[in-house]
Amino acid sequence: MSFDSLGLSPHLLAAIADSGYTQPTPIQSKAIPAVLDNSDVLAAAQTGTGKTAAFVLPILERLGSEKHRNPRVLVLTPTRELAAQVEQSVKTYGAKTQIRSTVVFGGVGYQPQISAFRKGVDIIVATPGRLLDHLQQGNLNLGMLETLVLDEADRMLDMGFINDIKRVLKHIPAKRQTLLFSATFSKDIRKLASTLLNKPVEIDVAPRNATADRIDQKVVMVEKARKRALLSHMISTGNWSQVLVFTRTKHGANRLVKQLEIDGLSASALHGNKSQNARTKALDGFKKGTVRVLVATDIAARGIDIDTLPHVVNYELPNIPEDYVHRIGRTGRAGLEGEAVSLVGPDERKFLKDIEKLIGNQIERIQVEGIDLRAPGKDDEEDEREQQARRPDNDGGQRPPKRGGGGGNGNRGGQGRGNGANRGAPKAEGGAPNNASRRRNPRRGNRGGQRSGGSTPSS
């Protein structure tokens, strides 16, 4: 099938050609005609399948080139990063139209967003919290809305946005087109769909939870205390220039970044406690190649769209097996090959089993040459102590700078530069999240961070 047969105007076909796409992905060939037909759509499609263009292109087609005073289209996304990326797609594909779009999320000032509304905007891409603030303050009128898109709806439910979504719905017309995209059709998603959608066209492009064939998945069994050394070793010896590393906690992400920097690798953390500016900076640096390692938590990394990301590492396995699928889906995108390596400690075997059950495959176990993966080190004790202390603000001064002595690990080549200096360096970033995580929900953290970030004026 070609894009020509989908009913899109020449200016959109030109934008598609400019993006380098030669043929529609399965979600695009199914969703584009349905959206053009004014149908509601319920689509199971993960990031990486081309789902953004699957709704943005037909929406642009339907809007035509007329400018409107009030918004006609609202796209809700779970994270700021995804909102920014979707809006960027709107701008890219709509470059040859008059259609105006804006992105709305927390963590940045209200005024520029209000100014954009005043000038008139056709498409708004937003996270639910900040959008709701604007609606409640009367900054925005969604009474003329024609199309509502819920992108990554499963993740919005996971993040506790359901009530915000319901509140947003009160501000938009009941008679509208609704498109719901979700990685999976869980029971909760079906329930939400039944309340929001009217006789939807159902599209399921990928076998549920199947991981992309083009992602080369591997597992390295390794003692927890050796993970940092192993990661540095793999990055250095493999000459990896761009690697996305997942940790389970924001605190773990911060700690790993400091450690990698000691090892001489440029690294940044991306998680919900970071200010919007810090997140944008980290992501930009990573895309441009000035930051070699981006260490992220699940939610912050959702929707990161980097076309050519070659390596993803699970520094810790997620305890929710579906998150594994989302994580590794950051690589192997747009038809390119990618590699996803999971570092699995003895205490994570159960998570690995659950993941393998979900994906229906055993992941290949590999050995890594040139490093001892077994020897427990002092990191273990440190980890234990940190787990127990758990008060993030202990991180700064209280840990004795043991590692500077060498710790028997040949990969920590940079110790000579002095742990003290390195540890102290990222003060501003290290301090803010710690304080923030104390204020917010320290349990799984992401939820609190995102929700607050998405909606509170202070964030």
Contact set for ligand AMP, span 332-351 (CB under 6 A): 333-334
Contacts of 70 (CB under 8 A, 6+ apart): 120, 141, 142, 143, 144, 145
Q: Closest by alpha carbon to 352, among 316, 327, 386?
A: 316
Q: Between 53 and 293, name the residue whose CB sits nearer to ligand AMP.
A: 53
Q: How far is the CB of 300 from ligand AMP (least distance, A)?
A: 16
Binding-residue total with ligand AMP (CB under 6 A): 15
Q: How far is the CB of 21 from ligand AMP (least distance, A)?
A: 4
User: What does each C-alpha distance from 61 to 57, 82, 212 come to in angstroms?
Assistant: 6, 22, 30
Q: How far is the CB of 192 from ligand AMP (least distance, A)?
A: 21
Q: Between 114 and 334, name the residue whose CB sits nearer to ligand AMP.
A: 334
User: What does each C-alpha distance from 107 to 232, 241, 272, 277, 459 come to in angstroms?
Assistant: 32, 30, 10, 8, 4
The verdict on 78 binding ligand AMP (CB under 6 A) reads: no
For 437, other C-beta atoms within 10 Å of its C-beta total 23
Q: Which stretch binds ligand AMP (CB under 6 A): 19-27, 286-294, 362-370, 396-404?
A: 19-27
Q: Between 25 and 342, name the residue whose CB sits nearer to ligand AMP.
A: 25
Cβ–Cβ < 8 Å for 54, 29:
no
Q: Between 3 and 161, name the residue whose CB sits nearer to ligand AMP.
A: 3
User: What does each C-alpha distance from 271 to 9, 78, 294, 300 come to in angstroms?
Assistant: 39, 14, 10, 5
Q: How far is the CB of 5 from ligand AMP (least distance, A)?
A: 14
Q: How far is the CB of 244 from ligand AMP (least distance, A)?
A: 15
Q: How far is the CB of 315 from ligand AMP (least distance, A)?
A: 23
Kindly provide the residue ranges of all beta strands, DSSP E only, lying in 59-196, ordered along the sequence.
73-76, 101-104, 123-126, 147-150, 177-182
Angstrom distance (rounded) from CA 265 to CA 308: 20
Contact set for ligand AMP, span 274-313 (CB under 6 A): 305, 307
Structure tokens at 164: 């915000």
Q: Between 305 and 316, name the residue whose CB sits nearer to ligand AMP.
A: 305
How does DSSP classify residue 127?
A: -
Q: How far is the CB of 180 from ligand AMP (least distance, A)?
A: 15
Structure tokens at 403: 């590692």
Q: Closest by alpha carbon to 286, among 247, 244, 236?
A: 244
β-strand pairing of 364-365 with 73-76: unpaired
Q: Between 48 and 454, name the residue whose CB sits nearer to ligand AMP.
A: 48
Q: Which stretch binds ligand AMP (CB under 6 A): 22-30, 150-158, 229-237, 392-400?
A: 22-30
Q: Between 88 and 186, name the residue whose CB sits nearer to ligand AMP.
A: 88
Residue type, 60: L
Q: How far is the CB of 25 from ligand AMP (least distance, A)?
A: 5
β-strand pairing of 177-182 with 41-44: parallel
Query: Residue from 6, 8, 25, 196 that binds ligand AMP (CB under 6 A)?
Result: 25
Q: How far is the CB of 8 from ligand AMP (least distance, A)?
A: 12
Q: What angle do CA 341, 283, 355 make, to 5 degrees?
A: 30
Per-residue binding letters, 93-122, with ligand AMP (x by CB under 6 A): ------------------------------
Q: Between 87 and 429, name the residue whose CB sits nearer to ligand AMP.
A: 87
Q: Between 55 and 351, name the residue whose CB sits nearer to ligand AMP.
A: 55
Per-residue binding letters, 30-69, with ligand AMP (x by CB under 6 A): -----------------xxxxxxx----------------
List, in sequence order, every residue forming a beta bridge with 307; answer none if it has no partner: none
Cβ–Cβ < 8 Å for 250, 437:
yes
Interacting residues with ligand AMP (CB under 6 A): 21, 24-25, 28, 47-53, 305, 307, 333-334
